[in-house]
Amino acid sequence: MPGTPPQTRDEAQREFAATLSGFTAGDKPEYADYSRCIHCGLCLNACPTYRLWHNEADSPRGRVRQMLLIDQGRMELGEGFVTHIDRCLDCRACETACPSGVEYGKLVEQARTQIEKNYKRPFASRAIRNFVYRRLLVEPQRVARMARIVRFYQRSGLESLARGTGILRLLGLQERAALLPRIDGDFFYSRLGKTFPARGERRARVAFFAGCIAQVTFTALNDATIRVLRANGCEVVVPDGQVCCGALAAHAGVRDVARALARKNVQVFLREPFDAIITNAAGCGSTLKEYTHLLEEDEPQDHRPSVTNDKHGDAFPAEMATEFVKKTRDVTEFLAEMGLSAPLRETKLRVTYQDSCHLLHGQKIREAPRQLIRAVPGVEFVEMPLADHCCGSAGVYNVTETAASMELLEGKMQHARSTGAAAIVTANPGCILQLRAGARMHGTGQEVMHVVELLDRATVRGD
């Protein structure tokens, strides 16, 4: 009760510690979580940033330690901490390596939320972050408008002009420009609200989560996903009103926006009964499966940011998030569980696989995509060395920390080349963009595709 004096010594100590802490209440790294770290260092070699720089402060153990020091008031939440936390890819390889169960992804996202609340970034950075996380991603219409502008730039000759005149190099934007996704001629939005019947006997009725940026850059992948699901006996519904999953906002520490998006998606996807909610983006899937955790804390109703057409005036029952999470499946997980029923034609191709961090470390799914690749007759599957190490994409990391991202990509492409594979297959649109840029920059000549695009190519549909 506010104003009630502490009843026990423990309570008094906690109250005193809270007065020193550099963190504030709500979305805060908790002692119970970071105290699980036993400082063994088994995560160090799994951490891409530690492998790059061999700096303890850029390792998982070092970052957890800095959180503890700030929470105890022994370190300032200042530029140094922000730099080390910004440099983390949130790839969660350290979680897989950790024998002590440190939930590093949860901790780093909470640390970023504390930075968002208690640290003033430079003006330009604040302006860009506010635009991207609080305006652009919450409103599909804005994503579409922005995509049309980029498409005009890409197709009007302006892009070639910028490249040809060397202006991008002059501005230091050459690498970032190479990562810019190709905007689709036909956006995915027109499929929203539609139902696609199963081919042959219906085995399941599923809802498809289409993503936000993916609806303007990965229409072909989304269409391929629907075709593969239908060919394998699924009726596919694409619910209208769905919004961005909130992953980019949550990873950036903008958790109030991530929560508003989560509430909207839960309401939209539970409007009708579905056997599963399917995503083809491992980064989105990882966040969708953590909606219960994300929605554990919530803003008071009058402080909630509004998301497209939804003021979220209603109280939000926690059981709905649990129900949503129970149904959410990555498309590879779902197809491997259900088993492929559509016949597959011989497809002669030497293929390697890059684990998406948020599928492997976030969702603990390793075998399903490999099993599906191996199911295609004619495919020669070859494992890539260090396939479980991040390619450097990591949401917007390749834009915000371009130099580190490019270093990681260079190493990744060396390993990809060493397999002699003609195609690199992965399970996340962000990784696809990064690896395609890598194949171009390093001249490996390899095709990059999603697991479902390989299945789509091989599936005999009879139409």
Order across the sheet with 349-353: list the strands.
379-381, 349-353, 423-426, 447-450
Does 412 engage in binding with ligand SF4 (CB under 6 A)? Answer: no
Burial of 73 (0-12, 13-18, 19+ CB in 10 A): middle
The reply on whether position 49 binds ligand SF4 by CB under 6 A is yes
Question: What's the CA gap between 282 and 368, in Å, rounded?
Answer: 13
> Using an 8 Å Cβ cutoff, are 217 and 143 in contact?
no
404 touches ligand SF4 (CB under 6 A): no
Query: Does 35 interact with ligand SF4 (rule: CB under 6 A)?
Result: no
* Euclidean distance between the first and the last CA atom of the chain, given in angstroms as a whole number: 67
Alpha-carbon gap, residue 113 to 102, rounded angstroms: 18
37 interacts with ligand SF4 by CB under 6 A: yes
How far, in Å, CA of 456 to CA of 309, rounded?
Answer: 35
Q: Does 88 bind ligand SF4 (CB under 6 A)?
A: yes
Question: CB of 105: closest distance to ligand SF4 in angstroms?
Answer: 7
Contact 230, 198 (CB under 8 A): yes
Q: Report in angstroms how near the CB of residue 377 gets to ligand SF4 at its nearest.
A: 37
Find the helix packing angle between 451-458 and 367-375, rounded to 10°: 20
String marking each residue 147-186 x if it binds ligand SF4 according to CB under 6 A? ----------------------------------------
Q: Locate tokens 């780093």: which residue? A: 108
Give the nearer residue to ligand SF4 in terms of CB position, either 107 or 228.
107
Task: Extract the runs of DSSP E, i.e. beta strands, from 280-417.
Answer: 328-330, 349-353, 379-381
Stretch that binds ligand SF4, among 61-69, 135-143, 275-283, 311-319 (CB under 6 A): 61-69
Q: Supply the minimum distance, in Å, between the C-beta of residue 113 and ligand SF4.
A: 16
Of 8-16, 56-64, 200-208, 325-333, the window that binds ligand SF4 (rule: CB under 6 A) is 56-64
100 binds ligand SF4 (CB under 6 A): yes
- Cβ-Cβ contacts under 8 Å for 414 (sequence gap 6 or more): 442
Tokens standing for residue 251: 């990873």
The two structure tokens encoding residue 10: 């423990």
89 binds ligand SF4 (CB under 6 A): yes
Q: By CB under 6 A, is residue 233 in contact with ligand SF4?
A: no
Stretch that binds ligand SF4, among 41-49, 189-197, 343-351, 416-424 (CB under 6 A): 41-49
Nearer to ligand SF4, 100 or 118 (CB): 100
Task: In whole angstroms, give the CA distance from residue 366 to residue 333.
Answer: 9
Among 23, 104, 187, 208, binds ligand SF4 (CB under 6 A): 104
Residue 391 binds ligand SF4, judged by CB under 6 A: no
By CB under 6 A, name the binding residues for ligand SF4.
37-43, 46-49, 60-61, 63-64, 88-94, 97-98, 100, 102, 104
